[in-house]
């Protein structure tokens, strides 16, 4: 399947005074995907998103987006003195492609009164209003910075559901960042791992998960195994070795057992080993 | 964008309009009773004690209209909302700054016109009432004619620029107060330099054009031989000079604000 | 109509879970030819999952010839899953029961039995799974 890219970054870098928040970031995001941008705090996620939506200028390289973009910042900024109706009016006045009917319908289905002041809403309701504002622009790409942070579990589910329904309806591309991987299982289908300002992993989630295994076996044979398959993480405890391998199923001696990995296990394994990488480019196997 | 600007700042706008109405009413009441009074100077003094405080309105405009305009948005993160809509930053800032600058100027001009009308009730240049002279009294000079329009505009743009640079409301307010007050004192001190004063020889029988004495010329014996004066009818020339200087400042500061907003880091 | 649910801790990919649940419903006769599967949007509204996952599951079912997508109408069940009939199920269950009793007599506890069963299943399906 050939997918066209909606976001394309080449050699993107951002430096604040002496420190690089992001460096040498090259990646492309296929159209129609729900993309998870994952990494620990301070990995450069927000910087990347702000560069992508034009809130920041790059120090090096470039990033381009094809099509209309909507952005939802992490703290879900809204004008607290405005009513919901006024917030919608704001969206309508400042965006030519605004879908007022959709916005009103969505606010109605959330059972939010239009006359309510935005400042008096709960965190979850605020997030929903901010999401409505972003969705009603009818963007080709929706960028969200930590959309689920500071929300209770029910609100997380509701926000995600609203987002997924919008994807089902419009087929738009979504790029969202998170430092909580479990939030992304079942909702995202493309993974980008940022660590220490660099892209570590980028690819289709199902393929990535299927392409990794945990191999457990005797420590004395571990070195010969790691010569045959790329190892992300190698843990030895006494006579047993646990190898986190980037590989299809491999024939191994009967003393070895292999287990599939979960998305979370895979992300954690990479984050613990910032020098490993899994990118859609050749010759990046680890030593 | 106009709607948004109005909606975000309507509180300041309404308060300003209300204040103008209150001041106008006071001036009207005081002026009409002074006109029919035998001692208008007493009426003048009654109100002027309070009125002289209105010199600081440009500072208030800077603090309430200007400083929060950008600083509040930076502080609350709403710049991230405003700057990711389909309106460019430049247009966003241009509309806000332009719309409110025009309103601040108009409000200042209205205030100046009201003061002007009120002053006309009082006789000028007669003994102890010379204080009512809009040219001699620096406070009245800044509150009549076109000067208040320019001052209010400058206060607003200065506050905005401070907010754009500092990005936090309270420090921006502090900067606005300090710089505006400093400018007011500075400008008041250099006002006499707007034009070369006329030299009037004493005792030569030449007629006194009437005006503010800025310097006395003495001969070797210490006798005063001539006066350097600024004639009364230079009022408007000085008004426009001051307005031009302040508008120049305001344009410069608007440029500073635009550059600060353009910076994406 | 089939109602999907998710088992988050299972480690089974979500689209595989959806495929399995449709097949399960077909085996049990809960879904019959002509029945419409829920639309991607309906599933998404229920489970808050990525619609692409639902579409992927339906594509997989389509590839296996179990359902067919009619543009603008939805996805419909094409044929049932025979697999083993009910009587066949009962027979297999009975013989497996015998094997478990045998294993317990040999001193295996529940965990041993499950581990052994799982490893035999893995071994015998190993070749097919990667195909």
Q: What is the pLDDT of residues B4-13, one digit of tens each?
A: 999 999 999 9
Is the CB of residue A95 less than 8 Å away from at least one CB of chain B?
Answer: yes
- Is the pLDDT score of B154 beyond 80? yes
- The set of residues, in sequence order, having a beta carbon less than 8 Å from that of A285 and lying 6+ positions away, is A230, A246
> Is C97 or C80 the better-scoring residue by pLDDT?
C97
C83 pLDDT band (50/70/90 cuts)? low
Select from C14, C15, C44 the Cβ nearest to the Cβ of A168: C44
Exposure string over A214-248, b if 16+ CB within 10 A, otherwise e: bbbbeeeebeebbeebbbbbbeeeeeebbbbbbbe
pLDDT value at residue A104: 96
- Is the pLDDT score of C131 beyond 50? no
- Are A144 and A50 in contact by the 8 Å Cβ rule? The answer is no
Flag if A54 and B87 touch (Cβ within 8 Å): no
- Give CA–CA dist B155/A99, Å, rounded: 40
Is the CB of residue C49 less than 8 Å away from at least one CB of chain A?
Answer: yes
Contacts of B265 in chain A (CB under 8 A): 16, 56-57
CB contacts < 8 A, A to C, total 55
pLDDT value at residue B86: 92
Flag if A161 and C15 touch (Cβ within 8 Å): no
- Give CA–CA dist A150/C37, Å, rounded: 36
CA distance A46 to chain B (A): 12
> Is A241 or C86 the better-scoring residue by pLDDT?
A241
- Give CA–CA dist B4/A197, Å, rounded: 37
pLDDT value at residue A142: 97
pLDDT value at residue A127: 94
Select from C45, C53, C130 the Cβ nearest to the Cβ of A161: C45
Select from B7, B84, B264 the Cβ nearest to the Cβ of A71: B84
Closest CA to C21 of C7, C42, C4: C4
Give domain A5-203's CATH superfamily: P-loop containing nucleotide triphosphate hydrolases (3.40.50.300)
CA distance C54 to chain A (A): 10
Closest CA to A206 of A228, A234, A184: A184
Closest CA to A215 of A246, A270, A256: A256
> Is A101 or C3 the better-scoring residue by pLDDT?
A101
Report residue A4 as tokens.
């066209």
Flag if A186 and C49 touch (Cβ within 8 Å): yes
A116-120, B135-139, B189-193, C102-106: least confidently modelled range: B135-139
- Are B165 and B174 in contact by the 8 Å Cβ rule? The answer is no
Contacts of C54 in chain A (CB under 8 A): 168
pLDDT value at residue A285: 42
What percentage of chain B exceeds 90 in pLDDT? 65
C35: which DSSP letter? P
Contacts of B3 in chain A (CB under 8 A): 89, 93
The residue ranges of chain A whose pLDDT is under 50 are 1, 281-287
State mean pLDDT over C82-95: 75
- Give CA–CA dist A78/A67, Å, rounded: 24
Residue B88: closest C-alpha in chain A: A94
Strand order across the beta sheet in which A212-218 lies: A231-237, A240-246, A212-218, A257-260
pLDDT value at residue C82: 66
Touch B-C: 3+ C-beta pairs under 8 A: no
Best residue in B86, B89, B95, B262 to probe A by mutation, most A CBs within 10 Å? B86
pLDDT value at residue B209: 61
- Give CA–CA dist A287/C102, Å, rounded: 49
Query: With 0-12 CB in 10 A as exposed, 13-18 as middle and 19+ as buried, what is A286?
Result: middle
- Calculated CA dihedral for residues B158, B160, B166, B168, nearest 10 degrees: 130
Is the CB of residue A94 less than 8 Å away from at least one CB of chain B?
Answer: yes
Note the ipTM here: 0.87
Q: Which of residues 71-130 of B touch A (CB under 8 A)?
A: 76-78, 80-87
Q: Which of residues 194-233 of A touch C (CB under 8 A)?
A: 206, 209-210
């Amino acid at each position: 399947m050939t997918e066209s890219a909606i976001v394309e970054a080449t050699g993107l870098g951002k430096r604040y005074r002496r420190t690089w928040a992001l460096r040498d970031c090259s990646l492309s995001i296929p159209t129609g995907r729900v993309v998870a941008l994952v990494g620990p705090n301070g990995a450069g996620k927000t910087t990347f998103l702000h560069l992508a939506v034009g809130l920041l200028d790059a120090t090096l390289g470039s990033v381009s987006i094809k099509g209309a973009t909507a952005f939802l910042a992490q703290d879900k900024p809204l004008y607290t003195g405005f009513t919901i109706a006024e917030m919608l009016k704001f969206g309508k006045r400042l965006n030519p492609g605004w879908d007022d009917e959709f916005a009103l319908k969505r606010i109605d289905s959330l059972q939010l009164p239009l006359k309510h002041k935005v400042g008096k809403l709960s965190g979850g309701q605020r997030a929903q209003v901010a999401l409505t504002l972003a969705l009603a622009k009818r963007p080709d790409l929706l960028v969200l910075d930590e959309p689920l942070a500071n929300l209770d579990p029910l609100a997380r589910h509701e926000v995600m559901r609203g987002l997924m329904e919008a994807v089902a309806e419009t087929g738009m591309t979504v790029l969202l960042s998170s430092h909580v991987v479990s939030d992304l299982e079942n909702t995202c289908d493309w993974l980008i791992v940022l660590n220490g300002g660099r892209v570590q992993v980028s690819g289709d989630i199902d393929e990535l998960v299927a392409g990794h295994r945990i191999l457990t076996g005797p420590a004395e044979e571990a070195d010969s195994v790691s010569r045959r398959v790329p190892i992300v993480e190698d843990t030895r405890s006494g006579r047993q070795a646990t190898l986190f391998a980037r590989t299809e199923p491999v024939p191994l001696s009967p003393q070895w057992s292999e287990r599939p990995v979960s998305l979370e296990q895979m992300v954690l394994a990479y984050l613990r080993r910032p020098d490993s990488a899994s990118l859609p480019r050749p010759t990046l196997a680890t030593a | 964008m106009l709607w948004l600007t109005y909606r975000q700042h309507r509180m300041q706008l309404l308060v300003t309009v209300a204040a103008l109405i209150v001041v106008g009413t006071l001036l009207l009441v005081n002026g009409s009773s002074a006109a029919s009074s035998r001692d208008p100077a007493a009426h003048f003094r009654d109100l002027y004690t309070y009125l002289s405080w209105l010199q600081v309105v440009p500072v208030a405009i800077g603090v309430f209209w200007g400083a929060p305009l950008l600083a509040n948005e930076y502080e609350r993160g709403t710049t991230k909302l405003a700057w990711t809509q389909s309106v460019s930053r430049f247009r966003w800032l241009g509309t806000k700054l332009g719309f409110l600058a025009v309103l601040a100027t108009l409000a200042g001009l209205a205030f100046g016109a009201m003061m002007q009308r009120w002053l006309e009730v009082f006789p000028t240049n007669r003994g102890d009432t010379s204080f009512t002279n809009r040219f001699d009294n620096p406070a009245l000079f800044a509150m009549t004619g076109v000067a208040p329009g320019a001052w209010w505009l400058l206060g607003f743009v200065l506050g905005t620029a401070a907010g754009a640079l500092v990005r936090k409301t309270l420090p921006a307010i502090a900067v606005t107060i300090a710089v505006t007050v400093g400018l007011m004192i500075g400008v008041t001190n250099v006002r006499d330099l707007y034009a070369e004063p006329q030299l009037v020889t004493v005792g030569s029988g030449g007629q006194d054009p009437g005006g503010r004495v800025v310097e006395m010329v003495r001969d070797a014996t210490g006798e005063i031989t001539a006066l350097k004066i600024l004639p009364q009818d230079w009022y408007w020339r000085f008004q426009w000079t001051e307005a031009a200087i302040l508008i120049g400042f305001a344009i410069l500061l608007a440029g500073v604000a635009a550059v600060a907003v353009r910076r994406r880091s | 109509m089939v109602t999907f649910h998710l088992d988050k801790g299972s480690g089974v990919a979500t689209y595989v879970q959806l495929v399995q649940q449709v097949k399960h419903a077909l085996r049990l006769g809960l879904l019959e030819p002509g029945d419409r599967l829920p639309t991607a949007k309906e599933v998404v509204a229920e489970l808050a999952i990525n619609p692409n996952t639902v579409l992927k599951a339906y594509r997989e079912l389509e590839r296996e010839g179990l359902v067919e997508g009619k543009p603008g109408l939805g996805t419909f069940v094409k044929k049932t899953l025979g697999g083993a009939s009910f009587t066949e199920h009962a027979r297999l269950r009975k013989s497996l029961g015998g094997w478990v009793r045998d294993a317990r007599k040999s001193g295996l506890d529940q965990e041993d039995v499950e581990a052994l069963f799982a490893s035999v299943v893995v071994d015998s399906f190993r070749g097919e799974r990667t195909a």
